[in-house]
Amino acid sequence: MKIGEIWSQLGSIMASIMFVYAMFDKFFPPHLRRYFLKYTNKFSTLFYPYIQIKFHELSGEKLKHSETYKTIQTYLSANSSQSARRLKAEVIKDSQNPLVLSMDDNQEIVDEFNGIKVWWSANHTTSKSQSFSFFPTSDEKRFLTLTFHKRNRDVITTSYIQHVLEEGKAITTKNRQLKLYTNNPSKEWMRYMSTKWSHTSFEHPACFETLAMEPEKKEEIINDLLKFKEGKEYYTKVGKAWKRGYLLFGPPGTGKSTMISAIANFMNYDVYDLELTVVKDNNELKRLLIETSNKSIIVIEDIDCSLNLTGQRKMKKENDDDENEEKKKLVDKAKGEEKNESKLTLSGLLNFIDGIWSACGAERIIIFTTNFVDKLDPALIRRGRMDKHIEMSYCSYEAFKVLARNYLDVESHDELFPVIGKLLEDTNMTPADVAENLMPKSITEDFETCLKKLIQSLEEAKKKLEEEEAKKKTEEKVEEARLKEEKDKQKIAQEEENVKANENSKENDKENGLIH
């Protein structure tokens, strides 16, 4: 047969099919059409053994954007940029990767799960409805279609879809822009568009690789964080809320705030900087806790200075209570806090950390920092509340080598490094002071100049420390001499009193006629 005849016959067949379909759609009663389509679909399944599941972009009565659709789209974006030929670009706010590529409409990609092959396609339909709605939507309705063989129905509907949602959420969390939150005063909570927490982007570059600390101690902290991050099932098994407390203590300048930033970047957690002085009472503290998200770090810096609720509880006499109360009033008056006194209590803070309300979220880290750990109440920092105590100490030789690598790109120096190491053993200098000396102050300063400058500062600090120790020893000797002198005076006075008492006793005996 000629090609022209084939096309002519094909056109006649198509026209006949269209005519029959038009007659069927127009003249057949609806209930007969339903029965016909029902049995037609059953017949077609014998030759087409595939199942399709649709995930619509808009769902619900108000046609809100579906979180499931977004999560699946995020999961597919990892494969679509490699498999699909036509891609669609989208700019997403608050993401480390703002430009996200996904497959365009009418594109299809193949995915595999446990040896099972599935097909994902992006589709859209155009609505022809002219009805009025209080929630107008776009004429185009988009959806994702999952196609798979019917023999894999159970695996796909249970394990695979759950896998896609979990992976999509993990990718979203990994790519999101971290945020730094601070709590607003409660008097502002009822204002228009106001929230309990205000936030900004968290872009601190600190990481464990650049943290000035001994490698063994750093590795211990990293392992503890990894164990916590993977401990969902473990915490459920032991019956504890999925949270962990860290106490960072040490002198100012030892890197406590930098440690918090490094933990946040390592765990990919948001940071909530809780200011206790603006919290009015225990109830407000609970409401702030409820508003924090999972996968977050709640920080209370300088907790010993936050409020008058962290002092050790001791048995005191009445005069001690009066004296402490008077001191407290003087301090409050000096700070201007008499008019806005917080009713937050130590009990409320303990419940916030380790009470019933602490289980209202999951995967949270609570961090306290303090310069004076001895001032804190033992109940506040006991194990179970502050699970791990991390001492942020003065700069060691290992920590100095990290700083030298960070600031000067120097790994070693045969002459200057040993000198610095010996001086660091004899001197207490914080990592912040060491870093300040290592930082070049002009373009003409090379690494040797900075190292010599550090040596000079260490020698001055050592000399100052020796002078202070000498002064302290002198004062101790003076104090010892003074105490010895007072002791000798007391001894002489006691001897004189004893002699005088003996003389008085003899005179009394003589007067009474006992001595002849």
pLDDT means per 10 residues in the chain (516 residues)?
Answer: 69 77 71 69 69 85 77 80 68 63 78 91 70 52 89 92 90 85 86 83 92 93 95 90 93 93 94 91 90 92 74 46 54 49 80 81 91 87 89 93 93 92 91 92 89 93 88 88 85 82 72 57
Helix (H, G, I), strand (E, B) or coil at 487: helix
Contact 269, 181 (CB under 8 A): no
pLDDT given at position 315: 42
Q: pLDDT value at position 255? A: 92
pLDDT for res 307 = 64
pTM of this prediction exceeds 0.75: no
What local confidence, expressed as pLDDT, does residue 10 receive? 74
DSSP state of 242: S
At residue 186, the pLDDT reads 83
Q: By C-alpha distance, which of 210, 246, 244 is closest to 229?
A: 244
pLDDT value at residue 338: 45
Rounded to whole angstroms, what are the CA distances from 408 to 425, 427, 429?
22, 22, 19
Note the pLDDT of residue 434: 94
**Right CATH number for 179-391 from 2.40.50.140, 3.40.50.300, 3.40.50.720, 2.40.50.220?**
3.40.50.300
What lies within 8 Å, CB to CB, of 457 at 6+ separation is 429, 433, 437
Distance CA 28, CA 353 (A): 70
Predicted local distance difference test score (pLDDT) of residue 4: 67
Give Cα 445 to chain centroid, integer Å.
Answer: 38
d(CA 432, CA 258): 10
Reduced to 3 states, what is the DSSP secondary structure of residue 180? strand
pLDDT of the residue at 91: 65
